[in-house]
Amino acid sequence: MATMTKEDLDKYIGQAVDTLKVEVSKSVAELVKENMAKALEPVAKEQHDWMSRILGSQETEVSRKREKGELFGRYARAIAASAMHAKMGQFIAPEDIAKGWGDADVAKFITDYRSKTMTAGDPLAGGFLVPQQFSQDVVELLRPTSVVRRLGATTIPMPVGSLRFPTVSAGTTGYYVGEATNITKTQLATGQITLTFKKLAAVVPFSNDLLRYSSPGADAIVRDDVVRAFGQAENTAFLRGQGVSAAPKGLRYWAAAANVFAANATVSLANTTIDLGKLMQKLMDNNIPFTRPGWIFAPRTWRYLATIQTTTGAYVFREEMNGGRLWGYPYAISTGIPVNLTDGGGTTETEVYLADFADVIIGEAMSMAVDASSEAAYDDGGTTRLAFSRDETVIRAITEHDLGVRRAESVALLNCCTWGA
């Protein structure tokens, strides 16, 4: 017998039983119906198992509480699975794959998007916009990965490609006045920065074996890989991006020139303490309120500060740093700060940042987009890999954002630093 769905089976049995009812009693007809169903059950099960292998388990996961960002992973994986099957010459719409995995909500989002963009025949035509609620989960997960976000930068939604933002270049001044004396006129000096979408793309290769079946663990892998790729790129751009080649300008180039100074050439506990104090003074001299202050430095700098000792062998900063703070303020560690800079003529220099992150603004797009390809090539540490030959599907996630600083004086930078080298 050819493949038979449950609906085909029910219809076939119903027709046979209706014929029997004309000539035999109702009880006999029902008995025949029951026996026919048992006899044909393996046929229907074979058809069900075949579809399950293609679409995944039909069992829903309503009873299982989803982790944050897991729906994004499921959404991206359904699109990738569709691309994989298309390459095999067996097109299955991504919404059908999501339904097969028991995710009616994800399927509806995909269906709605495809109906709006008229891409029903091609799973790769222009990519898929990720629903805003899924995108926001990814942005929230970026917070512990992206050091600038973690230390309290303010995120502002940017529904369009650019946003003008007022800055304060000089504050108002108050005066004491005597009786019947005119109040001295003051004026707030302001400026303006423009945040413009900068496109960030994360390319994540994914094993086709994990795309063939429904798996919450696989969804988490997609989610985590995308978040990790976004976070690493942000740490590099948000700290030292020069604002060229379509990348954001980072804190290094937002800092006021007067707030950038070289570390003492001689590395010692005394000079380290002086340099840290100077960083704080740079912000204090400009009346920065220290609303959300924080330090950022390279792992090598962390090791130096955490292990530096007095002449008696006591660790100076280790106890406080074990609690995540330095001089009372939180710190973050990032490899986005190099340890091979040459600003002072050396080859092992690095930087230390102190900023009031209440003045750091991230303009965030309202959504992101996801594409998938089983034929794309991707870079793997300098080596080009071909997804098709490795039985992989490449998932590409794209988001857009920009970074700005309301007051350049809110960022101080110590460079030419060789601590721990």
Residue 61 lies in a domain: no
The Cα–Cα gap between 397 and 369 comes to: 6
Report pLDDT for 131.
85
Residue 179 lies in a domain: no
Report pLDDT for 168.
66
The residue length of the chain stands at: 421
Report pLDDT for 19.
55
**Do 265 and 409 belong together in one domain?**
yes
**Do 161 and 129 belong together in one domain?**
no
**Do 303 and 418 belong together in one domain?**
yes
**Do 145 and 122 belong together in one domain?**
no
Strands 369-373 and 392-405: antiparallel
Please report, for the domain that includes residue 389, its CATH number.
Answer: 3.30.2400.10
For 262, residues 6+ apart whose C-beta sits below 8 A from its C-beta are: 343, 344, 414, 415, 416
Q: How many domains does the chain have?
A: 3
- Whether the CB-CB separation of 369 and 130 falls below 8 Å is answered with yes
- Whether the CB-CB separation of 160 and 302 falls below 8 Å is answered with no
**Do 226 and 327 belong together in one domain?**
yes
| pLDDT tens, residue order, the chain (421 aa) | 455 566 666 666 666 556 545 545 555 556 555 665 565 555 444 444 444 444 444 444 444 567 888 889 999 999 999 988 887 788 888 999 999 888 888 898 888 876 665 444 444 445 688 888 888 899 889 989 999 999 999 999 988 888 887 776 655 556 676 776 776 655 555 678 899 999 999 988 988 888 877 778 889 999 999 999 999 999 999 999 999 878 999 999 999 999 999 999 999 999 999 999 999 999 999 999 999 999 999 999 999 999 999 999 999 999 999 999 999 999 999 999 999 999 999 999 999 999 999 999 999 987 788 989 988 888 888 889 989 889 899 999 999 999 999 999 999 999 999 999 9
Domain boundary among 133, 155, 175: 133
**Residue 51, phi then psi, degrees to nearest 5:** -65, -35
**Do 97 and 231 belong together in one domain?**
no
**Do 270 and 402 belong together in one domain?**
yes
Task: Give me the torsion for CA of 329, 334, 336, 340, rounded to 10°.
Answer: 100
- Whether the CB-CB separation of 157 and 400 falls below 8 Å is answered with no
Helical axes 132-142 vs 216-240, angle rounded to 10°: 60
Report pLDDT for 399.
93
What residue numbers bound the domain in which 86 lies?
Answer: 70-133
Residue 177 lies in a domain: no
**Do 34 and 82 belong together in one domain?**
no
Residue 119 lies in a domain: yes
**Do 27 and 77 belong together in one domain?**
no
**Do 266 and 400 belong together in one domain?**
yes
**Do 108 and 151 belong together in one domain?**
no
**Do 126 and 148 belong together in one domain?**
no
